[in-house]
Chains A and B, each alone.
Chain A
Amino acid sequence: MADSVDVSKGLPANPEKATLDGKNKFLGMFVFLAGETTMFATFFGTYLGLRSGTADGPVAADIFQLPLVFIMTMILLTSSLTSVLATFAMKKNQFGKLKFWMWMTFLLGATFLGLEIYEFVEYYEHGLGYTTSAFASSFYTLVGLHGAHVLFGLGWILLLLLRNRKAGITLTNAPKFYAFSLYWHFIDVVWVFIFTVVYLMGIGG
């Protein structure tokens, strides 16, 4: 079989792509993310089309708390960095480091999510409910969908870490960690767009 790679002398240089299974996961993840991009693009389009449809509710500039969002952005960007460090560790066959950086990624992601929930509660108390206006609906849907992706990612990495507590890096789990980190970068890139298109443009005009 194509996926019988000789690992008696240690892992190959790119363990995530050494087997056919790994290559499939890698490509499959990319294609999946291409689809996700289109889906997010549709939600962005919706938001852009409706963001001035505030009815008589609050407008973006009244409500967005840029300092908080900025901190959230920094946290999420850092979590991308830690997941890169994790994949570096993976390629060097350092399982302990891999786990450490993945746990860091998890913690940062969870912090981000906590802050986002706090942010939404804040806005709600300032009069921006989900059904207040088309602007409100499209804002919460776009940002909330991103949040749901973060939540899903957290569940995913948690399962991976628990499942592979003692496994070491193998040709089976390396593609899985790698696929997760691709997903995580994607989430991060989407957030950068949200930060720009929703928050900066919302404050700036």
Chain B
Amino acid sequence: MVSEATNTRKKSVLWDWLTTVDHKKIAILYLIAGALFFVKAGLMAVLFRIQLIAPEMEFISGQTFNELVTMHGTIMLFLAATPLIFAFANFAVPLQIGARDVAFPFVNSLGFWLFLSGGILLSISWFFGGAPDAGWTSYVPLASREFGGIGIDFYVLGLQISGFGTLVSGINFIVTIINMRAPGMTMMRLPLFVWTMLITSMLIVFAFTPLAAGLALLMLDRIFDAQFFIPGEGGNVVLWQHIFWIFGHPEVYILVLPAFGIISEVIPAFSKKRLFGYTSMVFAVLIIGFLSFMVWLHHMFTVGVGPIANSVFAIATMTIAVPTGIKIFNWLFTMWGGKIRFTTAMHFAASFVPTFVLGGVTGVMLAMAPVTHLYHDTYFVVAHFHYIIVGGIVLGLFAGFFYWYPKMFGHKLNETLGIIMFWLFYIGFHLTFFIQHILGLMGMPRRVYTFLEGQGLDTMNFISTIGAFLMSAAIIVLVVNIVYSALNSERVTVKDPWDARTLEWATHTPIPEYNFAQTPQVRSLDPVFYEKIHGNGEMKPVEPLDEIHMPNGSILPLIISIGLFIAGFGFISFHLDLFISPYVFIAVGGILTFGAMAARSLQNDHGYHIDKETVESMEKELS
């Protein structure tokens, strides 16, 4: 490496990662943490799938089953899917819009550490009297002090902390995308992934805040004996369901829109064609984002909110199929007649399309309020949402992983191993979940830890569990691939190993910390591709090569997060009977958090400059 910036001290590797505010490094932190949580929640699924492999198994107890299912769902949604999306967003969004970093690098790192400390707080529940056990939706009264275990306190405070991290990251993305675009990068030239992240971030702002409010109410009920959800004292349990689903339904789109975005980047890149119907794609995303707030009640059809409300929300729900259909057709038309290269990324992207359609079809079925009583809380629902979540979001994440990997880590993943992994995963996925549609129609209820013999459910449950094993095998192949490729792959030294289209492929590999030595001029949608055809293959700079201003790293985000972790634990410990008083934890945590915030606002931090000579020599070495 070229000697780094001017007035920063040399740091150890560990310290560097703990204090980094570089969006590319934060992306890698999100990637690693998200992947670990993904594996963990996946293993939980395997455990309870083993319990369901045969009738009346006694592999795990009913209580453990409840805890595993709850943690599986909660971790997958909040601590695996969301951070993995943030990994790609952090990595790609600033590059795709031609920025040197995000708008608030400090806040960016804060977002990561909050997510992680909330996640760890949730996870240590196993050691303090049991994990949350009321389902990822934590419905009251099941989750109330009276019926729910101590784990729910961990659920409430863990999600509160990590949700706050998600919120500040969302704000950061919005400001970055609106204010930091390179000259010429108009809104209607934004890559689709950036568009979806913009809308996703808005959904985060408007959905995670009701969640925060709901979690606060539940916490107050459980820890401070408030009466929000206690009917005998004037409270109301359906209130929780409204608040939860006003958050919960948009949450699905918070995850799936970025997956749409990734697919919309990968398919054109490997079809060697411009994305078909760019404008309609953008509007489809906007409409989906808006409608996602209008449909929450479809999760409550069986609660008894009345026929009018049910009808309105049923129709609103089905309306979402229209913009989604537009997107599906545009992807198909993009591939149509294109020069398709079947890379691993393209395998995942192309297979996303039919699987997602299947999930959409069962979604419309579920939206029919009168019929939904048949499916409600059966495996049909489980099958439906896994077609969306795994067959949509996870396939999209894998596509993005294989696509951006060379830019992130400087070498490609092995394609043969990649394709083996793809088929294992894809077949395993359908084995696990397709059959659950039928199980559901036969009446097998979800969240029940065993079933009886002779009801015709045995074979299909067996197959479903085998499918889960195949998916696990796929993940093992992926790990092998990562290790193998790190040892054997050639270093990528070109800027654009895929012959791709968007601006992130205009920087060097590895990417210097400042991304672009000179801010590029954007002249078209797909700017890199445009310069290949109409220019000399290089982006035109808008500024002379000069010194570059960069933000300083900081340990304060980590300290703030540790403080909140300790304080959060303090609130939980009101019910824990430890030898240290809860108030000690709360005070220590509060002092750390607010102290670090005060330190931040009193500090004089103007960042540092990388001088012109250093930039020049770095650029020369990389090209």
Task: Decide if A121 is an interface residue (CB 8 Å cutoff).
Answer: no
B226 to A39, Cβ gap below 8 A?
A: no
Query: Please, what's the 1-or-0 string for A105-119, where 1 marks a CB less than 8 Å from any CB in chain B?
Result: 000000000000000
Q: Is A9 an interface residue (CB 8 A)?
A: no
- Asked whether B227 lies within 8 Å of A163 as measured between CB atoms, the reply is no
Which B192-237 residues sit within 8 Å CB-CB of chain A?
205-206, 208-210, 212-214, 216-217, 220-221, 224-228, 230, 232-236
Contact A20 B208 (CB under 8 A): no
Contact present for A23 and B179 (CB under 8 Å): yes
Q: How far is the CA of A133 from the CA of B230 in the complex (A)?
A: 9
Question: Is A138's beta carbon under 8 Å from chain B?
Answer: yes
Please tell me if B174 contacts chain A, counting CB pairs below 8 Å: yes
Would you call A177 an interface residue if the criterion is a C-beta within 8 Å of the partner chain's C-beta atoms?
Answer: no
A35–B206 contact, CB under 8 A?
yes
Residues on B with beta carbons closer than 8 Å to the beta carbon of A201: none
* Shortest distance from the beta carbon of B19 to any chain A beta carbon, whole Å: 20
CB proximity of A168 to chain B, nearest CB, Å = 15
Q: A50 — which chain B residues lie within 8 A by C-beta?
A: 228, 234-236, 239
Set of chain A residues within 8 Å of B221, measured between Cβ atoms: 137
With contact pairs A134-B227, A141-B226 given, residues A27 and B205 touching in the complex (Cβ less than 8 Å): no
Contacts of A130 in B (CB 8 A): 224-226
- In the bound complex, residues from chain A placing their C-beta under 8 Å from that of B228 are 46, 50, 134, 137-138
- Bound state CA distance, A63 and B378, in angstroms? 49
| A55 x B209 contact (CB < 8 A) | no
Number of A-B contacts (CB under 8 A): 118
Instruction: Select one of B178, B230, B233, B602 contacting A159, CB under 8 A.
Output: B602
Residue A95 CB within 8 A of the other chain: no
Q: Do residues B230 and A134 form an inter-chain contact, with CB atoms below 8 A?
A: yes
In chain B, positions 143-181 with a C-beta closer than 8 Å to chain A are: 167, 171-172, 174-175, 178-180
- Judge whether A38 is part of the interface by a CB distance below 8 angstroms: yes
Query: How many Å from the CB of A171 to the closest CB on chain B?
Result: 11
> Do A36 and B209 have beta carbons less than 8 Å apart?
yes
Assess A53 versus B234: contact at CB under 8 Å? Given A24-B103, A35-B167, A35-B209. Answer: yes
**Is A94's CB within 8 Å of the partner chain B?**
no
Instruction: Please state if A55 and B233 are interface contacts (CB–CB under 8 Å).
Output: yes
Closest to A32 in B: B171
Docked complex Cα distance between A155 and B214 (Å)? 26
* Nearest CB of chain A from residue B560's CB, rounded to whole Å: 14
From residue 36 to 53 of chain A, which have CB atoms closer than 8 A to chain B? 36, 38-39, 41-43, 45-46, 49-50, 52-53
Is B178 touching A27 in the complex (CB atoms < 8 A)? yes
- Given A38-B210, A141-B226 in contact, is the A46-B217 Cβ separation under 8 Å? yes
Q: Interface digits, A182-204 against B, CB 8 Å rule (1 contact, 0 not)?
A: 00000000000000000000000
Least CB distance from A123 to B in Å reads: 16
A28 and B175 within 8 A (CB):
yes
On whether the beta carbons of B179 and A133 are closer than 8 Å, the reply is: no
Compute how far the CA of A14 lies from the CA of B225 in the bound complex, rounded to whole angstroms.
Answer: 49
Cβ of A42 and Cβ of B103 under 8 Å apart?
A: no
Residue pair B235, A53 in contact (C-beta under 8 Å): yes
Partner of B104, one of A24, A55, A135: A24
- CB-CB under 8 A for A163 and B602, given A42-B243, A130-B226, A133-B227: yes
B602 touches A38 (CB 8 A): no
Interface membership of B2, Cβ < 8 A: no
CB pair A38–B236 under 8 Å, yes or no, is: no
Q: For the complex, is A71 an interface residue (Cβ under 8 Å from B)? A: no
- Whether the pair A137, B236 counts as a contact (CB closer than 8 A) is no
User: A131-B226, A159-B598 given as contacts; is B179 within 8 A of A20 (CB)?
Assistant: yes
Confirm or deny: B491 has a beta carbon within 8 angstroms of a beta carbon on chain A.
no
Please name the residue on chain B nearest to A38 by beta carbon.
Answer: B209
For the complex, what is the distance from the CA of A31 to the CA of B172, rounded to whole Å?
9
Interface size class of B (residues with CB under 8 A): 35 or more
Q: Which residues of B contact A1 (CB under 8 A)?
A: 549
Q: Is B601 an interface residue (CB 8 A)?
A: yes
Q: Which residues of A contact B601 (CB under 8 A)?
A: 156, 159-160, 163
A78 close to chain B: CB less than 8 A: no
In the assembled complex, the CB of B159 is this many whole angstroms from the nearest CB of chain A, namely 15
In the docked arrangement, what's the CA distance between A163 and B598, Å?
A: 10
- Given A39-B213, A54-B234, A133-B234, the answer on whether A28 and B220 have CB atoms closer than 8 Å is no
CB distance from B219 to the nearest CB of A (A): 11
Chain A positions within 8 Å of B594 at CB level: 155
Contact A28 B103 (CB under 8 A): yes
Task: Say whether A136 faces chain B, with CB atoms less than 8 Å apart.
Answer: yes
Q: A38 and B217 in contact (CB under 8 A), knowing A131-B224, A134-B236, A159-B598?
A: no
Check if A43 sits within 8 Å of B234, measured CB to CB: no
Q: How far is the CB of A87 from chain B (nearest CB, A)?
A: 19
A45: chain B residues at CB < 8 Å are 242-243
Residues of A within 8 A of B233 (CB): 53, 55, 133-134
For chain A residues 76-120, which have a beta carbon within 8 Å of chain B?
Answer: none
Residues of chain B within 8 A (CB-CB) of A46 are 213, 217, 228, 239, 243
A34 within 8 A of B: yes
Whole-angstrom CA separation of A138 from B216 in the bound complex:
11
B213 touches A42 (CB 8 A): yes
A135 to B230 Cα, complex, angstroms? 11
Q: How far is the CA of A135 from the CA of B235 in the complex (A)?
A: 8
- Is the CB–CB distance between A35 and B224 below 8 Å? no
CB within 8 Å for A43 and B206 given contacts A24-B179, A135-B234: no
- With contacts A20-B179, A23-B179, A133-B233 known, is A42 near B209, CB below 8 A? yes
User: What A residues does B602 contact at CB under 8 A?
Assistant: 159, 162-163
Contacting residues, chain B, for A160 (C-beta < 8 A):
601
User: Distance in Å from the Cβ of B33 to the closest Cβ of chain A?
Assistant: 24
Q: Closest CB-CB distance, A151 to chain B, in whole Å? A: 11
Give, as a whole number of angstroms, the nearest-CB distance from A202 to chain B.
15
Quick one: given A27-B175, A31-B205, A46-B228, are A141 and B234 in contact (CB under 8 Å)? no
Whole-angstrom distance between the Cβ of A198 and the nearest chain B Cβ: 16
A34 to B227, Cβ gap below 8 A?
no
Neighbour of B171 across the interface among A31, A55, A136, CB < 8 A: A31
Given contacts A46-B228, A50-B228, A55-B227, contact A34 B205 (CB under 8 A): yes
CA distance A27 to B606 in the complex (A): 20
Q: How far is the CB of B334 from chain A (nearest CB, A)?
A: 32
Cross-chain pairs A/B with CB under 8 angstroms, 17 sampled: A20-B180, A24-B104, A27-B174, A32-B171, A36-B209, A42-B214, A43-B213, A49-B239, A50-B234, A54-B234, A134-B235, A135-B234, A137-B228, A141-B216, A141-B220, A141-B226, A172-B606
Additional A-B contacts beyond A24-B175, A46-B217 (19; CB < 8 A) = A24-B103, A28-B174, A31-B171, A35-B209, A39-B210, A42-B214, A43-B213, A49-B236, A49-B239, A52-B234, A53-B234, A131-B225, A131-B227, A133-B233, A133-B234, A137-B227, A138-B228, A141-B216, A141-B217
6 closest A-B pairs by beta carbon, nearest first, are A53-B234, A134-B234, A42-B213, A137-B226, A39-B209, A134-B235
